[in-house]
Amino acid sequence: MAEHAEPPAYPVGLRLAGRRVVVLGGGQVAQRRLPALVAAGADVTLVSPSATPSVEAMAEAGEIRWERRRYEEGDIGAAWYALVATTDREANDRASAEAERTKTWCVRADDAEAATAWTPATGRSDGVTVAVLTGHDPRRSAAVRDAVVEGLRDGSLAAPQHRARDPFVALVGGGPGDPDLITVRGRRLLAQADVIIADRLGPRDLLDELPPHVEVIDAAKIPYGRFMAQEAINQALIDHAKQGKSVVRLKGGDPFVFGRGMEEAQALAEAGIPCTVVPGISSSISVPGAAGIPVTHRGVAHEFTVVSGHVAPEDPRSLVDWAALARLRGTLVVLMGVDKIGAIAAALVAHGRAPGTPVALVQEGTTAAQRRIDATLATVAERVRAEEVRPPAVIVIGDVVTEAPDKRTAPAPAP
């Protein structure tokens, strides 16, 4: 006679807001599970003589109550839900027995068969909670969970909303160029957009993944070439938003780091249109990092300064105090300064920076076309001409340029 398969667990979502939850044990299991219980609004009591530093910090912050003692009979009875995660098997058995008597759903970290509830592998994306149970294979549960959540986040798993979603306008920082370096929130909003107004320096590969109905507007500001005036970009954002469309302004790096994002936010505000700002990974940090250059390093640089180089030092429109920058001992990162680097280097040397100061230019950072050119302040202008360096390129000035994970492989400044 064939054996009957074990009945599957019945999935359910517990609404624990304001309801008592008891956690026995303050170790690694509690550290993993407590944040979700707190986020659910549960009234959490931790019963444990000790706790990890992270769990202790939650108690000190008032997120949970901590009773510094061992389990006692009666701890479980008043709870709606219990998590038993101590290293004392006998105490766990007694707590489970109490939960059975008092009809309290109880998870056992040490013995799933003795539990009356199991914790699924969970993930969240855009208001959707994904919970996966695969019996006694938690790794498979986690793998399925990860695949579903990633699909929801990047739009590859179609899950249209059947209830009308309020339109939105978002200024999204796309990061330095590699499509994997956009934030999860930024990628999710792209998947929900009706209109995307995209910069040339944004992660262009992501545009290929968009559904065919999405309108993509090229707002590229290509140096020395065609460009879309900032006023036209502002007006496009406003016009499409007033048509009830969800609009994403996809920008390179971070919207507020030399991205003119505040101008767009102000224009939208003047038109009475709220917008969401989604920060992005700034190229000022990420591009040097991708080229093996730390902008700070112990014993080398305790500071880094990011400046725009689109206006030459001698230009009366310049807002940069180049004399002050030359006196600093830390790292200087220059954005949009390829065509002005000769004048910038000269100004720094004139104000006291050593001509032999190392310089690195990282062109098309984080993309397949990335390349790095090393020089010094004395030689950088000629190196840029000889190597035909073109924007976009991030310029790093300072001793960190010669640092590397293995200093034996660190590139020496060009002669």
Q: Where are the domains of the chain?
A: 20-119, 123-154, 169-281, 284-409
CA atoms of 239 and 86, how far apart (whole Å): 59
Mean local confidence (pLDDT), 100-109: 94
CA atoms of 296 and 306, how far apart (whole Å): 12
Tell me if residue 344 falls in helix, strand or coil: helix
Could you confirm whether 199 is annotated as catalytic?
Answer: yes
Which pLDDT belongs to residue 313? 95
**Is a pLDDT exceeding 80 seen at residue 3?**
no
384 pLDDT band (50/70/90 cuts)?
very high
Q: Which two tokens stand for residue 101?
A: 């008597």
List 231's β-bridge partners, or say none: none
Question: Active-site residue among 75, 199, 254, 374?
Answer: 199
415 pLDDT band (50/70/90 cuts)?
very low
**Is a pLDDT exceeding 60 seen at residue 12?**
yes
**Is a pLDDT exceeding 50 seen at residue 155?**
yes
pLDDT (tens digit, 9 = 90+) per residue, 180-233?
999 989 988 998 899 999 987 778 788 877 878 889 888 865 454 555 688 889
CA atoms of 213 and 217, how far apart (whole Å): 13
Which pLDDT belongs to residue 123? 82
Q: Which of 198, 197, 397, 390 is nearest to 284 (CA)?
A: 397
**Is a pLDDT exceeding 80 seen at residue 371?**
yes
At residue 377, what are phi and psi to the nearest 5 degrees?
A: -60, -30
**Is a pLDDT exceeding 60 seen at residue 83?**
yes
Question: Active-site residue among 221, 245, 339, 399?
Answer: 221
**The domain over range 20-119 is classified in CATH as 3.40.50.720:** yes
For 233-242, b/e burial (b = at least 16 CB within 10 A) is bbebbbebbe
Which pLDDT belongs to residue 143? 87
* Higher per-residue confidence, 135 vs 52: 52
Lowest mean pLDDT among 1-5, 41-45, 150-154, 319-323: 1-5
CA atoms of 165 and 19, how far apart (whole Å): 31
pLDDT (tens digit, 9 = 90+) per residue, 264-295?
999 999 999 999 999 999 999 999 999 999 99
Cβ neighbours around 309 below 10 Å, total:
21
146 pLDDT band (50/70/90 cuts)?
confident
Which pLDDT belongs to residue 387? 96
Which pLDDT belongs to residue 11? 85
Q: Which amino acid makes up residue 399?
A: D
Place of tokens 């950072």: 365
4 pLDDT band (50/70/90 cuts)?
low
Which pLDDT belongs to residue 191? 85
Cβ neighbours around 4 below 10 Å, total:
6
Torsion-angle region of 352 (φ positive above 0: left; ψ -120 to 50: alpha; else: beta)? left
Which pLDDT belongs to residue 221? 53
CA atoms of 295 and 309, how far apart (whole Å): 18
Give the dihedral sign, CA 70/72/35/125: positive
At residue 21, what are phi and psi to the nearest 5 degrees?
A: -130, 135
Share of the chain above pLDDT 70, in %: 91
Q: Which of 316, 391, 331 is nearest to 361 (CA)?
A: 391
CA atoms of 160 and 292, how far apart (whole Å): 41
Asked if residue 294 has a cis previous peptide bond (ω within 30° of 0), the answer is: no
**Is a pLDDT exceeding 50 seen at residue 142?**
yes
Tell me if residue 313 falls in helix, strand or coil: coil
CA atoms of 57 and 361, how far apart (whole Å): 43
Could you confirm whether 221 is annotated as catalytic?
Answer: yes
Mean local confidence (pLDDT), 367-395: 95
CA atoms of 187 and 157, how far apart (whole Å): 13
Q: Which amino acid makes up residue 207?
A: L
Which pLDDT belongs to residue 135? 67
- Of 3.30.950.10, 3.30.110.70, 3.80.30.20, 3.40.50.2020, which CATH number belongs to 284-409? 3.30.950.10
User: Mean pLDDT score of the chain, rounded to an integer?
Assistant: 89
CA diameter of the chain = 93
Which pLDDT belongs to residue 158? 61
List 33's β-bridge partners, or say none: none
**Is a pLDDT exceeding 50 seen at residue 408?**
no
pLDDT (tens digit, 9 = 90+) per residue, 331-347?
999 999 999 999 999 99
Which pLDDT belongs to residue 414? 46
Asked if residue 392 has a cis previous peptide bond (ω within 30° of 0), the answer is: yes
Q: Which amino acid makes up residue 137?
A: D
Which pLDDT belongs to residue 412? 46
- List helix spans (H) across 9-161: 28-39, 53-60, 89-102, 138-154
**Is a pLDDT exceeding 70 seen at residue 365?**
yes
- List helix spans (H) across 40-86: 53-60
**Is a pLDDT exceeding 90 seen at residue 126?**
no
CB 391 within 8 A of CB 411: no
Which pLDDT belongs to residue 209? 75
CB 276 within 8 A of CB 269: no
Which pLDDT belongs to residue 169? 97
Which pLDDT belongs to residue 413? 46
In the CATH hierarchy, which fold is given to the domain comprising 169-281? Cobalt-precorrin-4 Transmethylase; domain 1 (3.40.1010)
CA atoms of 296 and 286, how far apart (whole Å): 12
**Sequence-separated (6 or more) residues with CB below 8 Å from residue 260:** 230
Lowest mean pLDDT among 11-20, 74-83, 125-134, 175-184: 125-134
CA atoms of 111 and 201, how far apart (whole Å): 53
Q: What is the pTM of this model?
A: 0.72
Q: Are β-strands 393-397 and 358-363 bridged in parallel, bridged antiparallel, or unpaired? A: antiparallel
**Is a pLDDT exceeding 70 seen at residue 98?**
yes
